[in-house]
């Protein structure tokens, strides 16, 4: 026991000493990317311009997602068209060039979407094209998981929905099982009572069915393990948010316009 305690306190001292001496590094959240063999010739991190372009793509993809959750097809299409126009990225390693045409094609798929559900699937397939390149590059974004909003008001439930939608989205883009599953889990822990919604009584039945559908999709998200299965769940999921926000004329505020 005494022995154990002295080992523990020595370890503690060592770790404290390490804290003092070590340079401050950005915390890197744990990812669950499948270990891929280190590329022989390419350095793991691409040069700065790729990163800068990526932040733009990120904004467009996010604007598409938020536009869709609000039920705003025009905003979604405008953001997706930016991605569909993407010709090249400065500094992109040559082995990643072939990953761009599938991204453009997936983003252009929004043009033939006539329903919220089809638009949702087009957005989700685009995110899978993002993740395919990150996997090939063996680099990409590292999303930290922020704390889940706590509480039981309608607004908090909606913020939890958004939290879940963000994690599912990031889980697709990164890609990361851990981030994806945290989104799915948040949905099964959340139970919005449709009776609490401040909406006309004649909409209550439809709203209850939509809420239930959101939670059912959360369950499906848990068992979806391939990128395609996840894209399908995610597309239907955000289309369901959109359907209710249109119905009740509510929902989140728009993101700041893309490209700002
Ligand atoms: C052709 C390959 C490719 C495609 C397609 C791609 N990415 Fe990336 N992405 C990269 C690479 C390479 C990096 C790492 C850049 C670096 O670290 O300098 C990266 C990094 C990122 C980052 C992290 C940027 C930062 O600040 O560190 C984000 C966010 C990102 N990508 C989002 C996306 C989104 C969203 C899409 C789809 C709309 C997408 N990417 C499509 C190759 C790609
Ligand atoms: C049953 C209908 C319904 C469903 C389903 C629904 N919402 Fe909402 N949402 C609402 C209503 C009503 C409001 C306005 C609530 C309020 O602020 O009082 C709202 C507001 C929001 C807000 C703004 C909250 C704030 O902080 O002001 C966000 C974000 C949101 N919803 C996200 C989502 C997401 C993401 C989904 C899908 C996972 C979703 N909602 C599903 C009805 C719904």
Has residue 52 got a pLDDT over 90? no
Position 218 confidence tier, pLDDT thresholds 50, 70, 90: very high
Q: How far apart are the C-alpha atoms of 200 and 222, rounded to whole Å?
A: 33
Q: How far apart are the C-alpha atoms of 215 and 248, rounded to whole Å?
A: 19
Residues within a 6 A CB radius of ligand 2: 69, 154-155, 158-159, 161-162, 165, 194, 197-199, 207, 210-211, 214, 237, 240-241, 244-245, 248, 250-252
More confident residue, 219 or 27: 219
Q: How far is the CA of 251 from the centre of ligand 2 (A)?
A: 5
Q: How far is the CA of 53 from the centre of ligand 1 (A)?
A: 8
Are the CB atoms for 189 and 222 separated by under 8 Å?
no
Can you give the pLDDT at residue 45? 58
Residue percentage of the chain with pLDDT more than 90: 61
Q: How far apart are the C-alpha atoms of 109 and 111, rounded to whole Å?
A: 5
Can you give the pLDDT at residue 2? 44
Position 160 confidence tier, pLDDT thresholds 50, 70, 90: very high
Are the CB atoms for 173 and 127 separated by under 8 Å?
yes
Kindly state the average pLDDT of the residues 116-144.
94
Has residue 248 got a pLDDT over 50? yes
Is the Cβ atom of 75 under 6 angstroms away from ligand 1?
A: no
Lowest mean pLDDT among 12-16, 113-117, 250-254: 12-16
Lowest mean pLDDT among 18-22, 93-97, 219-223: 18-22
Q: How far apart are the C-alpha atoms of 251 and 237, rounded to whole Å?
A: 15
Q: How far apart are the C-alpha atoms of 60 and 211, rounded to whole Å?
A: 27
Has residue 12 got a pLDDT over 50? no
Kindly state the average pLDDT of the residues 148-165.
92
Q: Which of 223, 241, 228 is nearest to 164 (CA)?
A: 241
Is the Cβ atom of 145 under 6 angstroms away from ligand 1?
A: no
Can you give the pLDDT at residue 255? 66
Instruction: List all residues 6 or more positions away from 46 whose beta carbon is below 8 Å from its beta carbon.
Output: 91, 92, 93, 96, 137, 139
Residue with CA closest to ligand 1 atom 9: 140
Which tokens go with 245?
């926000």
Is the Cβ atom of 136 under 6 angstroms away from ligand 1?
A: no
């Amino acid at each position: 026991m005494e022995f154990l305690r002295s080992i523990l306190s020595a370890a503690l001292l060592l770790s404290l000493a390490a804290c003092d001496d070590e340079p401050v590094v950005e915390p890197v959240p744990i990812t669950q990317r499948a270990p891929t063999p280190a590329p022989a010739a390419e350095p793991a991190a691409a040069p700065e311009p790729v990163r800068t372009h990526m932040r733009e793509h990120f904004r467009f993809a996010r604007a598409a997602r938020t536009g869709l959750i609000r039920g705003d097809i025009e905003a979604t299409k405008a953001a997706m068209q930016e991605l569909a126009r993407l010709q090249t990225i400065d500094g992109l390693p040559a082995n990643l060039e072939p990953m761009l045409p599938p991204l453009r094609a997936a983003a252009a798929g929004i043009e033939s979407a006539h329903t919220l559900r089809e638009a949702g699937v087009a957005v989700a397939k685009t995110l899978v094209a993002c993740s395919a390149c990150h996997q090939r590059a063996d680099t990409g974004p590292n999303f930290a998981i922020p704390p889940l909003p706590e509480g039981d008001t309608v607004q908090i439930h909606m913020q939890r929905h958004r939290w879940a939608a963000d994690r599912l989205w990031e889980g697709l883009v990164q890609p990361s099982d851990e981030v994806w599953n945290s989104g799915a889990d948040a949905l099964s822990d959340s139970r919005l009572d449709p009776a609490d919604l401040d909406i006309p009584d004649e909409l209550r039945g439809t709203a209850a069915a939509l809420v239930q559908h959101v939670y059912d999709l959360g369950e499906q998200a848990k068992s979806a393990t391939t990128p395609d299965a996840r894209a399908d769940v995610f597309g239907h999921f955000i289309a369901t948010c959109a359907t209710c926000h249109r119905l009740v004329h509510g929902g989140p505020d728009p993101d700041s316009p893309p490209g700002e």
